């Protein structure tokens, strides 16, 4: 094929020091420069960024698409992906530095035979701890080059915590700080990022969910890796947008797997999904599954948790007074609901919820309290608001 092998797609705003290090690492790749390009989605009008690019004009093929719109990670990536011409798109955060042989190895080990797969790279030194970062020390590139060579010499092994548990839900570990996918697949299956996500979190999981649904294998590489650079972050701000983004994810793709990740986290969802499936097989009759149902009776908007969907798609377990014409059903247990706070005048928990183990009953009750206009847990007591079949 005549097309260059790779397009390195980087979203950028206000990370000049880290971006400089990322570009420096790309300029040292052993893959010939004509075989890859760097396409940057820039979301600021920055003379400093332009000056940085000029420093690499004889060492890298850099293409920049610039907008002054409000920062949105998905938009920055979409802008850059649409300008990409390489056979393989590598999504790379501005906070990642790569070893010299990264692109050569990625091609030889994962794409040289025309493979259609999504390859997730390891993120060395990445910390997802529950702490704010207010001050960052920036080291020279030589510091990170030594670290890269050290990791390469002994092999990255399973340094990334995502390699230390089974991947039952393939999209739940596909973080986009370092990930690759054939451009042909992006174009054929419309695998751009959903712009309904704002702020930190979840847009990458939803993107990977669609990759998996398209039948594209998602594999975690043990040889492809980069070092994650520290950057300023606010834990409170991240959690706030992540919660809203998860609700949108659950509403767009309602399923047990998605609500499990939204409730307990992506790591935990992989560990919990099979035991939960076994628990549901024990609690429910064959061919039935949980449903969350919204309904209106006059001016009262009510949410029912613990209804059932039968094999033919009919709903069971709802009170007879619930009008059919106002029902809106989701195939959810109720662990994570796609609704905002205090969205319902009334929340009713039905009998099947009582068959769940305590961990899941508590999660359902917590969500019931969150979405109800009633503010006290005692007002949503399971016994007081339970209907039998």
Q: Which residues of 12-22 are buried (b: 16+ CB within 10 A; e: fewer)?
A: bbebbbbbbbb
DSSP 33-58: GGGEEEEEEE-S--HHHHHHHHHTTT
> CB–CB of 362/377 below 8 Å?
no
State residue 222 phi and psi, 5-degree precision: -95, -10
Rounded Cα distance between 65 and 288, Å, is 50
Virtual torsion, Cα 304, 305, 311, 314, nearest 10 deg: 0
Q: Which two tokens stand for residue 386?
A: 């339970």
Closest-CA residue to 188 (of 173, 172, 210): 210
> CB–CB of 6/87 below 8 Å?
yes
Encode the chain (389 residues) as per-residue pLDDT tens digits. 468 999 999 999 999 999 999 999 999 999 999 999 999 999 999 999 999 999 999 999 999 999 999 999 999 999 999 999 999 999 999 999 999 999 999 999 999 999 999 999 999 887 655 675 555 678 899 999 999 999 988 877 777 888 877 889 999 999 899 999 999 999 999 999 999 999 888 999 999 999 999 999 999 998 899 999 985 555 666 677 889 999 999 999 999 999 999 999 988 999 999 999 999 999 999 999 999 999 887 788 899 999 999 988 889 888 876 767 678 999 999 999 999 999 999 999 999 999 999 999 999 999 999 999 975 433 344 443 443 32
Rounded Cα distance between 13 and 45, Å, is 9
Q: What pLDDT shows up at residue 5?
A: 98
Point out which residues pair with 220 in neighbouring strands.
Answer: 120
In a 3-state reduction of DSSP, which class is residue 373?
coil
> CB–CB of 18/94 below 8 Å?
yes
Global pTM?
A: 0.91
Q: How far is CA 83 from CA 41, 93, 181, 250, in A?
A: 10, 17, 15, 31
Q: How far is CA 81 from CA 42, 126, 164, 183, 222, in A?
A: 12, 25, 31, 8, 25
Rounded Cα distance between 360 and 73, Å, is 33
Rounded Cα distance between 318 and 321, Å, is 8
**Taken in order 64, 67, 71, 74, is the CA torsion positive or negative?**
negative
Q: Which two tokens stand for residue 332?
A: 């959810």
Q: How far is CA 178 from CA 66, 352, 363, in A?
A: 22, 42, 32
């Amino acid at each position: 094929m005549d097309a260059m092998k790779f397009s390195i797609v980087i979203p950028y705003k206000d990370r000049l020091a880290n971006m400089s290090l990322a570009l420096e690492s790309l300029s040292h790749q052993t893959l010939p420069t004509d075989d890859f390009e760097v396409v940057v989605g820039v979301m600021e009008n920055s003379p400093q960024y332009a000056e940085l690019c000029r420093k690499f004009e004889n060492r890298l093929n850099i293409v920049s698409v610039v907008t002054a719109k409000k920062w949105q990670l998905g938009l920055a990536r979409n802008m850059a992906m649409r300008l990409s011409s390489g056979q393989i798109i590598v999504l790379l955060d501005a906070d990642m530095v790569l070893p010299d042989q990264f692109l050569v190895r990625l091609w030889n080990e994962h794409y040289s035979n025309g493979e259609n797969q999504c390859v997730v790279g390891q993120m060395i030194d990445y910390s997802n701890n529950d702490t704010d970062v207010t001050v960052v020390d920036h080291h020279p590139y030589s510091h990170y080059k030594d670290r890269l060579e050290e990791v390469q010499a002994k092999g990255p092994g399973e340094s990334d915590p995502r390699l230390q548990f089974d991947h039952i839900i393939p999209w739940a570990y596909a973080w986009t700080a370092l990930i690759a996918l054939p451009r042909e697949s992006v174009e054929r299956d419309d695998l751009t990022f959903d712009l309904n996500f704002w702020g930190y979190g979840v847009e990458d999981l939803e993107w990977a969910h669609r990759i998996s649904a398209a039948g594209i294998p998602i594999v975690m590489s043990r040889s492809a890796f980069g070092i994650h650079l520290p950057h300023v972050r606010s834990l409170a701000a991240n959690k706030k947008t992540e919660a809203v983004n998860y609700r949108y994810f659950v509403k767009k793709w309602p399923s047990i797997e998605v609500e499990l990740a939204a409730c307990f986290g992506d790591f935990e969802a992989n560990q919990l999904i099979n035991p939960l499936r076994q628990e549901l097989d024990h609690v429910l009759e064959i061919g039935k599954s949980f449903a969350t149902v919204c309904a209106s009776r006059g001016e009262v908007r009510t949410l029912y948790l613990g209804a059932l969907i039968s094999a033919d798609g009919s709903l069971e377990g709802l009170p007879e007074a619930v009008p059919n014409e106002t029902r809106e059903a989701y195939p959810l247990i109720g662990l994570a609901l796609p609704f905002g706070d205090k969205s319902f005048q009334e929340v009713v928990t039905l009998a099947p919820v009582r068959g769940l183990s305590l961990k899941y009953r508590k999660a359902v009750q917590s969500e019931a309290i969150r979405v109800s206009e009633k503010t006290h847990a005692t007002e949503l007591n399971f016994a007081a608001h339970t209907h039998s079949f």
